[in-house]
Amino acid sequence: MTTLLREHAEQQYADELQALAAHDERQRPPRWRLSPWAVATYLLGGQLPDGTTITPKYIGSRRLIETAIATLATDRGLLLIGLPGTAKSWVAEHLAAAVSGDSTMLVQGTAGTSEESIRYGWNYARLLADGPSAAAIVASPLMRAMQEGKIARVEELTRIPAEVQDSLITILSEKTLPIPELGSEVQAVKGFNLIATANDRDRGVNELSSALKRRFNTVVLPLPDSLEQEVEIVQQRVTSLGRALELPGEPPALEEIRRIVTIFRELRAGMTADSRTSLKSPSGTLSTAEAISVVNSGMALAAHFGDGALRAGDVAAVLVGAVIKDPVQDRVAWLEYLETVVKEREGWKDLYRACRELA
Amino acid sequence: MAPATHHIFGIRHHGPGSARSVRRALTALAPDLVLVEGPPEADAILSLLAHPELEPPIALLIYATERPDQAVFYPFARFSPEFQAITYALLHQIPVRCMDLPQFHQFALEKTGEAHSLADVSPILAPANDPLGALAHAAGYSDGERWWEELVEQRRDDAAIFSAVLEAMSALREDQPTPTDPHEAYREAWMRRTLRQAHREGFQRIAVVCGAWHAPALVSLDGARADDMLLKGLPKVKTAATLAPWTYGRLTFASGYGAGIASPGWYDHLWAMGEAAHDATAVTIQWMTRVAWLLRHHDLDASSAHVIEAVRLAEALAALREHPVPGLSELEEAARAVFCTGSDAPMRLIHQQLIVGERIGSIPDETPLVPLQQDLRQQQRRLRMKPTAERRLVELDLRKANHREQSALVRQLNLLGLAWAEPGEVTSTGTFRETWWLQWQPAFDVALIEAAIWGTTVRGAATARTLDRAGKSDVLSDLVSIVNKALFADLPDAISPLMDLLQRRATHTGDTGELMDALTSEDGQTRSSLVNSLRYGSVRELDTSLIAIVVDGMVTRICIGLSNVCTNVNDEAAATMSRRIAATNAAIGLLGQSAQREQWLTALAQLVHASHIHGLLAGQACRLLLDAERLSNDAAARFLSQALSSAQPPTAAAAWIEGLLQGSGMFIVHDEQLWHLIDTWLGTLTDESFQTIVPLLRRTFATFTRHERHLLGERIKQAPGARPLEASSQLDHTRAAAALARVQLIVTRR
């Protein structure tokens, strides 16, 4: 077992990628490690002729993933948009791993991301000693991806200041990165493309300029369609995270996960699952990722301070914190939900009582 | 002379590709009779389909004359093969007939079985009736129409297409050459019988246009005897046929019809492309250009570069999915990725205006009466309400069944936009009497034809239109007003969906004040509030159980949100809120549910205890709790004392008193403690602050009755230290004289 806290996608799933490549006889776009069909199988899961099982990396709409792959094949940039916790970065990482076999060409967008980290910087010692030269340039991951014909990733594009965002425009439309200091440029090699992720819900984001938007094809990653699907995602991630973090205690009962996911889905949708009662939605996003973290924290509580099994009390403490982000509006929404739904529901009495105590 | 033959053209209902092929095949064949799958009752009105004023989409409407709610629509768009076949025949003056099992049998058969309502599927739209679509899916096409295009593309010979279809269907139906469903068997037997009849009449080249599924059953006309036996003695009812205008929206699945086509606008596009529809790239480019035009028209960003990228992505997607050409789903997804940049609004627009389309049909003036008109006439006769051009007053006593129905009928017509009746004056306060002014106008007949799209009976149409309007209203009080109207108009089928809608809106409104208004405000026409309807609905024999659930939810939400909306408000908002609290309090009293009352009083108690609540509202809450005996006088005195303490600005204190004494001040006369508190407070005020609050106090005391004010005065006199006002000895006689004259004037006038 590795001592790394977290492996890259291409390390963790190296076997699957190798098996896919071995069986892939379809046409591959230039410098793609796999054909578009094999990339789709890698993301969505499947079975190879030799019996190798490819685990699904993304549980959800096949059509969206196909649109994303087709976009990468048409040399247009791919912009993944979605609420926080809808697996944008996850999908981007796996797409890069499957297409280029390398998911490390990554620029993390922050409020402090500068133009140098998108284009190139200078090795100042070299610059002072020898003057501007190709050797004095420190290439950004994006520049390296262009030179090597790989997929580059820009995470959280909307957190980058607008004027820095716009330095991507030339790269996307002309597929070149001019270096005026040397009077030269880096022209992208076939196989280069860009995947950016963005979310439009968080505070403190910079709207994308329409010039930049125009250069991307957009794929919106939705929240999971059905309760079953979401329970499956939460359970899969909770189990693998629990193993990675070496949490003591029993794995949570499916019923408890189902209950948490149900609460998240109902509040998010503003409607009970039987669509009889409508509800107010809290201001938070209540993403699947948050549901996963509620289960995880609940398990940690149960393991260290409880009796080891995930009980309503452990869940309630974490749940209230996850739902109520705005002390006034969300509290009203949560109380209404408690009184009109949780209270009446068969077998939820324990949860109601535990939540009532906290409220 | 060649032997008489019939040529079968198996088609896809509403398939533009089929329509084109049929049109070409008919031209090549030059038939002397055209038979289409449709109700024979419509034969007499088929000629209207070539009328210059007719504009598809329209629907053939067959209904039982005795029961207009038993009706079936056969919708046709311009790309429907049947429509093209009929208009071809009319244009070339070739006789054209419908050959399906007549609805006079079908209705009668249904009568014996399950009830048939408007919402039922018309046979032409039954989802299982798209075997060609199923074949297309089997061939890997996402879209049956694109498959048909490819088929036509590969073989230009239309006759060959139809024989291929016939062959494919024969293979599909190999297992069951005769349908197991008796209803289907009747239909096919009738079609064969019609064909035999045509042969007997001596027609030489008969063109048969029918759903592909039926094609194999019509090849051989043997077994006449068996067919006759089967059809012998079928029950019959009286039917009539007419036309109704249709919309693309109603051709879709979402319109409430169990089946339909998902994308009339897309089919229309394929039809409009004409022969160019064979060119996949041309179709994609044209479509994406239309998308761009639409978005630009709505001020959304859509350039030619977008169109190019969208076309490329659609083709790449089709390749990835191994479809030979992009189908509608590829076009949709490509448009979403390229044009929409993460927003849903443009896609909704595309769906609504392009994929479904907004085309509305129109019908010529010569069209026979629609059943809605007939239904109204029948009801007017039955209820003895003759439509007259003169304006006359009718008085209704709702305790009589007949009058109740009359009231419901005029209200239903009002909901349909026919103002036959206007509400008269309120003559008494009783809930069982109402008056109406009736006046019939000729324009109403036109309005009825327009309303035909909503249904075939007044009640059904009113229900459909009301639901449509309710779905579009986003103000809660409007919705409540619609609910009241629907209740009074006796539309039981509307109530449940309306309540769902009301509940949803009530949940999502963040404004508790709006909720309180929704609960208590009276609708102008019905003069009833939601609570009144619930409480007194029994006079009209309304089923109010659903309303009770919704009202219960609204009360809970009001109680949870009450303290929030009363916090940090200005005087004006507080006054509005105070009226709302009073109305809600009365409403909850009227409802008489102890659980609701409990919740409400708890919420009021929060107002008294919480800080930053406007004085008017806190005082009012205190008063309501006192009245409900939830608060002892001692406790009330404590709160009053807090409110009047010197830390509070005098205006806030005055507002508190106003809230407390609203309506009546009797109880302070009798409570020594409260009396003393107010008295002391007034005594401590400085001159300046007294001046400020005098108008406020006046406003409060002016609402009391004379008797109360008299008692208050008496009480003041008895108080220790009270002294009568000393009249000034120096009277100004000139000024007094002017006043006296005015007083005399008033006195003598009376």
Return the bridge partners of A219, or none.
Answer: A80
Question: Which range scores top for mean pLDDT: A96-105, B378-387, B658-667?
Answer: A96-105
Q: How far is the C-alpha of A248 from the C-alpha of A244, rounded, in Å?
A: 11
Contact list, A70 vs chain B (CB under 8 Å): 313, 316-317, 319-320
Q: How far is B697 from chain A (nearest CA, A)?
A: 35
Contacts of B334 in chain A (CB under 8 A): 67
d(CA B579, CA B620): 10
- Percent of chain B whose predicted confidence (pLDDT) is above 70: 86
Task: Please choose, from the candidates A159, A4, A156, the residue with its C-alpha nearest in 3D space to the C-alpha of residue A89.
Answer: A156
Q: Which of A73, A218, A277 sits opposite B340 (nearest CB)?
A: A218
- Chain B residues with CB inside 8 Å of A280's CB? 507-508, 510
Distance from CA of B548 to the nearest CA of A (A): 14
Q: Distances in Å between the alpha carbon of B336 and those of A99, A218, B15, B144, B348? A: 23, 7, 25, 22, 10
Report the candidate in B292, B291, B294 with the shortest Cα–Cα distance to residue B304: B292
Residue whose structure tokens are 């340039």: A137
Element (H, E) at A218: strand A216-220
pLDDT at residue B696 greater than cutoff 70? yes
Q: Of A37, A67, A220, which is closest to B342 when you measure between CB atoms? A: A220
| pLDDT tens string B410-460 | 889 888 888 888 887 765 556 677 888 888 776 676 677 777 778 888 888
**Closest residue, chain B, to A68 (C-alpha):** B337
A342-351, B393-402, B617-626, B722-731, range with the lowest pLDDT: B722-731
Task: Decide if B317 and A40 are in contact by the 8 Å CB cutoff.
Answer: no
Interface residue of A209, A328, A336, A337 to substitute, partner B, most B CBs within 10 Å: A336
B320 → closest Cβ in A69, A216, A336: A69
- Which CATH number describes the domain made up of A9-220? 3.40.50.300
pLDDT band at A107 (very low <50, low <70, confident <90, very high): very high
Shortest CA gap A136–chain B (Å):
38
B612 to chain A, any CB pair closer than 8 A? The answer is no
What are the CB-based long-range contacts (under 8 Å, 24+) for B532-540?
A: B532/B590, B533/B483, B533/B484, B533/B487, B533/B488, B534/B591, B535/B590, B535/B591, B536/B431, B537/B487, B539/B398, B539/B399, B539/B431, B539/B432, B540/B398, B540/B404, B540/B487, B540/B488, B540/B490
Query: What mean pLDDT do residues A68-73 have?
Result: 92
In this model, does residue B134 exceed pLDDT 80? Answer: no
Query: Minimal Cα distance from B321: which residue of A?
Result: A66
Residue A69 with chain B: CB contacts under 8 Å: 320
Which residue has 């005594």 as its token pair?
B683
Query: Distance, in angstroms, between A281 CA and closest chain B CA?
Result: 8
User: Could you give the ipTM of this predicted complex?
Assistant: 0.78
More confident residue, B7 or A358: B7
Other residues' Cβ atoms within 10 Å of the Cβ of residue A178: 15
As a whole number of angstroms, the distance between CA A168 and CA A146 comes to: 12
Angle at B193 between CA B191 and CA B194, to 5 degrees: 65
Is there a contact between B616 and B581 (Cβ–Cβ < 8 Å)?
no
Q: Which residues of B touch A339 (CB under 8 A)?
A: 556, 560
* Angle at CA of residue B49, ends B43 and B54, nearest 5°: 145
Residue of A67, A76, A270 lying closest to B333 (CB–CB): A67
Q: Contact at 8 Å (CB) between B335 and B288?
A: yes
Nearest residue on chain B to A62, judged by CA atoms?
B321
Query: Residues A192-209: pLDDT tens digits?
Result: 999 999 987 666 678 888
Looking at residue B729, its pLDDT comes to 59
Nearest to B320 among A36, A198, A217 (CB): A36
> Of A32, A35, A174, A220, which to mutate for an interface test with B (greatest number of B Cβ within 10 Å)?
A220
pLDDT grade for B693, boundaries at 50, 70 and 90: confident
- The per-residue pLDDT for range B473-487, each reduced to its tens digit, is 877 888 888 888 888
Higher pLDDT residue, B277 or B659? B659
Kindly provide the b/e burial profile for residues B587-605, where b requires at least 16 CB atoms within 10 angstroms of the residue's own CB.
bbeebeeeebbebbbebbb
Residue A147's pLDDT is 94
Mutate which: B311, B331, B499, B507, vs A, most A CBs within 10 A: B507
pLDDT, one tens digit per residue, over B262-314 is: 788 988 998 888 877 777 788 899 999 999 999 998 888 888 889 999 999 99
Q: For chain B, what are the domain ranges?
A: 264-356, 389-460, 489-631, 647-718
The mean of the pLDDT values for chain B is 80
CB-CB contact of B199 with B5 (8 Å): no
Q: How many CB pairs under 8 A join A and B?
A: 89
Q: Which of the pair, B33 or B252, is modelled with greater confidence? A: B33
SS3 A195: strand
Distances (CA, A) of B502 to A276, A341, B306, B473, B560: 12, 18, 41, 11, 18
The sign one gets for the Cα dihedral B555, B558, B560, B563 is negative
Do B409 and B461 touch, CB atoms closer than 8 A?
no
Which position has the higher pLDDT, A37 or B387? Answer: A37
Q: With an 8 Å Cβ cutoff, is B487 touching chain A?
A: no
Instruction: Please compute the mean of the pLDDT values over residues A117-125 and round it to a whole number.
Output: 92
Q: Where does the pLDDT of residue B244 fall: very low under 50, low under 70, confident under 90, or very high at 90 and above? A: confident
pLDDT for position B53: 86
What are the CA-CA distances from residue B393 to residues B396, B425, B442, B524 (Å)? 10, 10, 19, 19
Spell out the SS3 assignment of B26-59. HHHHCCCEEEECCCHHHHHHHHHHHCCCCECCEE
**CB–CB of A74 and B333 under 8 A?**
no
Residues of chain A with a CB closer than 8 angstroms to some CB in chain B = 36-37, 40, 63, 66-67, 69-71, 73-74, 76, 79, 81, 198, 200, 208, 210, 213-214, 216-220, 270-271, 277-280, 328-329, 332, 335-336, 339-340
- Most confidently modeled range among B125-129, B135-139, B322-326: B322-326
pLDDT tens digits, one per residue of B703-749: 777 888 888 788 777 766 555 555 555 667 777 887 888 787 777 76
Q: What's the rounded Cα separation, in Å, for the pair B11 and A213?
A: 44
Return the pLDDT at A204.
66
Q: Decide: A355 and A320 in contact? Cβ < 8 Å.
A: yes
Q: What pLDDT shows up at residue B125?
A: 36
Where do the structural domains in chain A lie, given as residue ranges?
9-220, 227-358
Which structure tokens are listed for A238?
Answer: 């909770």
B positions 107-136 inside 8 Å of A (CB): none
- B606-649 pLDDT, tens per residue? 888 877 788 888 888 888 888 888 888 778 777 877 777 666 77
